[in-house]
Amino acid sequence: METIYSEKHRLRDAKTELYGGELVAPFERPSRADHILARLRETGLGPVSSPDDFGMAPILAVHDAGFVAFLREAWREWEASGYPGEAIPTCWPARRMAQRVPEFIEGKLGYYALACETSISQGTWEAAYASAQTALTGAQRLKDGAGAVFALCRPPGHHAAIDMYGGYCFLNNAAIAAQHLRDGGARRVAILDVDFHHGNGTQDIFYARDDVLFASLHGDPMHAFPHFLGHADETGRGAGEGFTRNYPMPPGTGFELWRAALADALGRIVQFAPDALVVSLGVDTFENDPISFFKLRSADFTTLGGDIAGPGLPTLFVMEGGYDIAEIGVNAVNVLSGFEDRAGG
């Protein structure tokens, strides 16, 4: 299996995250990708290639143009304001407030943010853009006939909505890749999100569409970020009714319950009969992850990789979360190896 990877992920190296009432070193940091890359090379899973540049058009096919312009200019505007730290939103257009984009960067941050834990720092846009190009290159490989590809994206993307960022995500890599597949001739595309946290951004992008099926296995939003999306009764809107499926699960969920949800999701994907499958691959379902509450073990990731291979679809894995940095490489590569073993790769 080929891996697509960009060194430009290192440009996203924020120093602050708001967590537990304190500013701490971010859980989402460059060493996450380093550990995965090292494990890939240790196991010899396949070649590692740099991404191509598909430009802005595939990004703007998914995201609001004003939002993208904000991301491109946010750090420059923040520096110009004279604020000394990293850019963190402090106010929002809450219920019954005017939904207008302010001119000053403090207001812009709040308008476009869905949460305040994720700071914007120097190099954030450049890294997010490269991450999107990594996913797009993986999608292009599928279009060119590859059976499976791993896009080692960083920063992750599945919390990024049409016009909002947060949860360490700025551009929705999986959604951008899925739309690229559609624009390239795929009639239907399925997105399977196995990250611990609900893929709220991906749901937002495709919620009213019937050409992209979205299925997400995640911590119950009554107890887990992003809290305000991901309930089981959210199934789509309009033409998209029935093409979103959420599997919220409670604290302490182990692999048996989690795998049963995966089986149901894969059954729905098979019934949907997509031309390609995009997997938002988060391994923060791991039992020792510091910001999650599922109890999967390293060996379980090999099994779930094999399960994902079952439908026999061209599959793009897009890296999302996973914050036990010492084990992220083992867990992520276990998924890929399990998939390859069953797929005969």
Catalytic positions, written as ranges:
159
- Contact indicator for 265, 232 with CB cutoff of 8 Å: no
Residue burial 43-73, b: 16+ Cβ < 10 Å; e: rest: eebbeebebeebeeebbeebbeeebbebbee
Rg, C-alpha atoms of the chain: 19
Cis peptide before 58 (omega within 30 of 0): no
User: Which value, to the nearest 10 degrees, does the dihedral of the CA atoms of residues 326, 329, 330, 336 take?
Assistant: 160
Written as one letter, the residue type at 94 is: A
What's the Cα-to-Cα distance from 234 to each of 22, 174, 218, 243, 248, rounded to whole Å?
A: 33, 20, 14, 10, 11
Pairing of β 22-24 and β 17-19? antiparallel
Strands (E), the chain: 2-4, 17-19, 22-24, 48-49, 148-151, 189-193, 212-219, 244-249, 276-281, 315-319
Cis peptide before 226 (omega within 30 of 0): yes
Largest CA distance in the chain: 56
Evaluated on CA atoms 139, 304, 166, 289, the torsion sign reads negative
Q: In the sheet that 148-151 helps form, which strands lie side by side, from edge to edge?
A: 48-49, 2-4, 148-151, 315-319, 276-281, 189-193, 212-219, 244-249
The two three-digit tokens of residue 228, written as one number? 């305000």
